[in-house]
Amino acid sequence: MSRWTIADIPDQTGRTFVITGANGGLGLQSTRALTDAGARVLMACRNREKAEAARSGLAHPERGEVVELDLADLDSVRAAAAVLAGHAPDVLINNAGLMNIPHALTAQGHEMQFGVNVLGHFALTRALEAVLTDRVVWLGSIMHRFGSLDPDDLDRTRRRYAPMPAYADTKQACVMLAYEQQRRFDAAGSPLKAIAAHPGYSATDLQYRSGSRIQDGFMKVIERVPFLVQPAERGALPELFAATVPTLAGGTYIGPDGPGELTGHPQIVNSTRASHDRDVAAALWRRCAEMTADV
C-alpha cells in the first residue's frame, strides 16, 4: 500500500474549512494544501496582519479568508464563532496551540496552555457544531503519553506549574475530547465525526518559547537530527489525512508511521490507555463546558 501524501487529497472544491492558527507552521501548510485542492479556508488567527501576509503568499489567495480569533480570550472566540458560522463550514481543524511556555493566564484567568489548546478550541467547537457538515479534527501530540490529567485541577492551581507537563496534559485532553465528542455524536445519531491527529515531531516555532536559552538551544540541536524531526509540510499530513479522507471513521487517532511516531506518513495509531478512560473524559467535557459557559 502506498504512503499517503498531499497528492492523495480528494478534490475539495465546494468545501469550506476552518483552521485555527492558519498563518504559520502546520496550519499554514494545511491551508496551502487544502486551497490547492480547491477548498475555501477560513484562516482563524490572532494576528490579522500576519494572517493576511500568509494568505497573500498562497498559490490561490482568493480561496483563503482571514477571521480574527484569539483563543486566549473567550469573548474573542464568541465573536469569531459568530462570523465563522455564517460561512457554513464543513470541517473544523483545531490546529493552533501553545507549547512549553512560562506560566501565564488567559483573559478569563485560566492557565494559558490549557486555555488556548483546550478551552478556546472547546468553546469554538461547541459554537460551530450546529453548522458543521462533516467533522472536527483535534490536534493531539506524542506528548499526550506523558499527560496526567486531573479534571478537578485543569488550571493547575493545586499542582506546581511546569511547562512541559502542563503541555502534555493539554494534548491528552484534546485526544480525550475527540473521543468523547464522537461518543456524543453517536449517542445523538449525528453524522458528524470527531477525529484526533498528531504531527509527530515537526519543526515549527512552538518549541522555542520556554523562556530558557539552554532549553531552547537544546531543542534547536535536536531539530538538526533528520530521523527525529520532520519539516512542517510533512508534519501537517496527519491533520490533512484526518480532515479529508472520506472513509475515515470518527473516534480514530492519526499519526506518523515512522519509529516512535516521530516522523513519517499518516496512518491510524493508538493513544494511551488513560486517554480512553470514559469517566475522566466525561468529567473533562463537563468541566470544559462549565469553564467556557458552553460558549
Q: Where are the domains of the chain?
A: 8-292
Which segments of 21-106 does DSSP mark as H helices, in order? 25-36, 48-56, 74-85
Confidence of residue 224 (pLDDT cuts 50, 70, 90): low
DSSP bridge pairs for 134: none
Please name the helix (run of DSSP H) or strand (run of DSSP E) that holds residue 241, with its range, or none.
helix 237-244
Q: Which residues are catalytic?
A: 167
Q: Is the pLDDT of residue 294 over 90?
A: no
pLDDT score of 207 more than 70: no
Distance of CA 123 to the CA centre of its chain: 13
Rounded CA separation 179/263 (Å): 24
Mean pLDDT score across all residues of the chain? 93
Measured distance CA(77)–CA(118) in Å, rounded: 12
Calculate ∠ Cα 138-98-29, nearest 5°: 60
Question: Is the Cα torsion angle 111, 98, 251, 34 positive or negative in sign?
Answer: positive
pLDDT digits (tens, 9 = 90+) for 68-114: 999 999 999 999 999 999 999 999 999 999 999 999 999 999 999 99
pTM: predicted TM-score of the whole model, two decimal places? 0.92
Q: Is the pLDDT of residue 223 over 70?
A: no
Architecture of the 8-292 domain:
3-Layer(aba) Sandwich (3.40)
Question: What would the grid cell of residue 117 be?
Answer: 489548546
d(CA 197, CA 195): 7
Whether the CB-CB separation of 22 and 54 falls below 8 Å is answered with yes
DSSP 158: S
